[in-house]
Amino acid sequence: MQLQISPSESEIMRVIWQSDGEITVAPLLNELSNVGKQWKSNTVVTFLSRLVEKGLLTVEKKGRNNIYTAVMNEEEFRNHQLESFIKEEYLGNAKEFIKTFLEQSNLSLQDIDKSTLKKGEQYVQQLLSDRSKKDTNTNADEIINELKTEIASRKASINTKRKTIIQLEWEINYEERRINELNTLINKQKNIDK
């Protein structure tokens, strides 16, 4: 599946990739400032959190700093995006994608020579070969990860419900004690009134 990231998130990922795939917030802010982005720390941390949620970054606490590390390098990311795009939009038919690209692009015949076409064909064949090799593992890993996430979510939901039930039981017991106390007081008052 193609990862949806905003232009701002792309900008942050480019800086991280240029920093050998690992960075903390302060240097990231400096680098972003160097390219004309005057974002506040909270804004950048929000973008970083989103990128962690999307699986593009991992975060590790070291001392007082969070170290953000890219899960894949820029080339791997582009390959993933291209493969996902071809799979989703062209049903995995890379030749159809290339045909459409060539028909719709402004490339001239001078831009395209036989060696370029041959390299492109080899590249597509390699992508298809790599993809077919890892599809089985990737699909299994994706399913396992989805199941783990679902189980964790359900466990959290069950724990929340358990806490709610315990709280309600406590409140019911408290109210029953109050009713018993009030009944006792009413009975005492009736006895006094007689």
The answer to the question of residue 86 being in a domain is yes
Task: Fill in the DSSP letter of residue 184.
Answer: H
**Do 88 and 144 fall within a single domain?**
yes
Identify the three-state secondary structure at position 20. coil
The answer to the question of residue 191 being in a domain is no
Residue 97: the pLDDT is 79
pLDDT digits (tens, 9 = 90+) for 22-66: 999 999 999 999 999 999 999 999 999 999 999 999 999 999 999
Residue 57: the pLDDT is 96
Cβ–Cβ < 8 Å for 25, 39: no
Q: Which residue has the higher pLDDT, 141 or 33?
A: 33
Confidence bin at 116 (pLDDT 50/70/90): low
What's the mean per-residue pLDDT of the chain? 81
Q: Mean pLDDT, to the nearest integer, of 149-168? A: 70
The answer to the question of residue 104 being in a domain is yes
**Do 131 and 83 fall within a single domain?**
yes
Domain containing 56 — which CATH number?
A: 1.10.10.10
Which long-range contacts (C-beta less than 8 Å, at least 24 apart) are formed by 91-99? 94/124, 94/127, 94/128, 95/124, 98/124
**Do 79 and 144 fall within a single domain?**
yes
Of 24, 55, 70, the last residue of a domain is 70
Identify the three-state secondary structure at position 48. helix
**Do 60 and 109 fall within a single domain?**
no
**Do 57 and 85 fall within a single domain?**
no
**Do 83 and 132 fall within a single domain?**
yes
The answer to the question of residue 59 being in a domain is yes
CA nearest 81: which of 105, 72, 58? 72
pTM of the model: 0.54
**Do 63 and 101 fall within a single domain?**
no
pLDDT digits (tens, 9 = 90+) for 102-112: 777 766 656 66
In terms of average pLDDT, the best of 9-13, 159-163, 189-193 is 9-13
Given a cut of 90, is residue 125 above it in pLDDT?
Answer: no
* Number of domains within the chain: 2
**Do 37 and 94 fall within a single domain?**
no
Handedness of CA 110, 114, 117, 130 (dihedral sign): negative
**Do 27 and 54 fall within a single domain?**
yes
Alpha helices per DSSP H over the chain: 7-18, 25-34, 41-53, 74-89, 94-104, 114-193
Q: Which domain holds residue 60?
A: 7-70
Q: Buried b / exposed e across 40-58, counting CB within 10 Å, b at 16+?
A: eeeebbebbebbbeeebbe
**Do 124 and 58 fall within a single domain?**
no
